[in-house]
Structure formats: C-alpha cells, structure tokens
A and B are shown apart, each in its own frame.
Chain A
Amino acid sequence: MTFLERIYCGILAVTIVCFGWYFLDTFIHVDINAAAISDHVTRIWIMFGIYIGLTIAVTLATWFIDSEVEDEFDERDNKIDMFAERVCSYFQAMALLGILVLVMYEFSAFIIAHVVLATIVLTSILGLAVRLYLYRRGI
C-alpha cells in the first residue's frame, strides 16, 4: 500500500466516523421538521473543527509512521485522480438537482443545509472510495 493509499484510507475512516456520528446524533436527537439551523451552528463548527484536526492528525501520523516515504505523484495517480473527480462531478450534479427540488418545495433551511452537508461528505467519501478501488483494481 502506497503512502497516498494510506492517507486516503485514514481520511476515509475519519470522514465516516466524524460525519457518521454527527448525522446519527442529529437525526436521533433533533426534530428535523421543527429545528432551526441557527440553533445548531456551534455544533456544526465544532464538528468541522474536529474533522479538520483529525484529518491533519491522520496525515501527520501516517507521515511519521512511514519513515521511508519516497513515493512521488506520478502519471497513474493523475489518471486515477481525474477519473475519481469525474465520478464525483456526476454525483454532485445529481445531488444539486435534488437540492433544487427541496428548495422548490420549500423545505426548511435545516433540512436543506444538512442535505448540502451530506452532499459534500458523500462526494468526499465517493472520491476516496473510487481512488482506493482504482489503486487496488487498476485503471
């Protein structure tokens, strides 16, 4: 497994745990139809802070553990990156259409904000998963 793959695995795990916890907690403890987004701003910022901190920690830990990092970003990495970005762009386009439908039907700002957040998170997870798949299975 290359250094890049280890980083992707670490960030994927952090993303799933961090945002998975946030969405579970939100949908279990909050009445999403009555909640106001302004009541949850602090929570969202804290969660973002934890996510950024953990991502940096995972990257640094992988860097220190892998003391013989000599891998460079080469043409295959580039190709894999482009393919993953293309898959993500299709997903984002579909999600944007879904968000537009939510806006047209006047869903609450709380729901729309969380669907936007879910789109960002799922795009990130999809991009990382596609990259890891292509590193293992080839392109």
Chain B
Amino acid sequence: MVKPTAIKNNIRALRFAADEMTQDALAKEIGVTRQTIIAIEQGRYSPSLEAAFKIALALGVGLEDVFTYAPPASKE
C-alpha cells in the first residue's frame, strides 16, 4: 500500500556532525513534529521542498548534501 520513498537522506549522520543535534531540536527548528523527522530519516516520508530546504539550512549544508534521489531501476 505504501511505497518506500526513492529519496535517500543523510540527516542522521549530518545531525551528529552538527553538534549531535537531536531529532527534537531539528523538528522544532523547522516547525514539524519529531515523528515527521523520524519518518524522513527512516525513508518513510518524503518532505516537501520547503521542509527539505529548511532541514538543509538547519544542518548548515546544501540540499544535495542532505537528500539524494535514487530512481527505481528500469524494467528494460
């Protein structure tokens, strides 16, 4: 029913690199719930473009350093 997202992320690693920022702190900084951060980290939810930019800004890196797109393999 729910397809896994094709967008991969490095949020967990980047949080630890950013003074071991907690999920709660990141959630508060970008204005979402901690559950949403957990879902994004685990690849169960693709954030909106605005939330993605906010995450990158909060972690002090570029958007492409946080998120990468892994397109599904072609059937050919």
Interface size class of B (residues with CB under 8 A): 10 to 19
| Complex contact B31–A76 (CB within 8 A) | no
Total interface residues in chain A, CB < 8 Å: 15
> Are A72 and B2 in contact, with the CB atoms below 8 A?
no
* CB-nearest residue of chain A to B44: A138
Interface centre among B34, B36, B42 (most CB of A within 10 A): B36
Quote the shortest CB–CB distance from A17 to chain B (angstroms): 27
User: Quick one: CB contact mask for A100-139 with B, threshold 8 Å, 1 for yes?
Assistant: 0000000000000000000000000000000001110111
- If over half of A's interface residues share one DSSP class (helix, strand or loop), that class is named, otherwise mixed; here it is helix
Q: Which residue of A lies closest to B5 (CB)?
A: A138
Residue of A75, A76, A138 near B2 (CB, 8 A) is A138
Interface residues of A (CB under 8 A from B): 2, 5, 71-72, 74-77, 79, 133-135, 137-139
Could you tell me if B31 and A139 are in contact, using CB atoms closer than 8 angstroms?
Answer: no
The answer to whether B32 touches A138, judged by C-beta atoms less than 8 angstroms apart, is: no
A129 to chain B, nearest CB (A): 12
User: Closest CB of chain B to A2's CB: distance in Å?
Assistant: 5
Q: Is B33 part of the binding interface, using a Cβ–Cβ cutoff of 8 Å?
A: yes
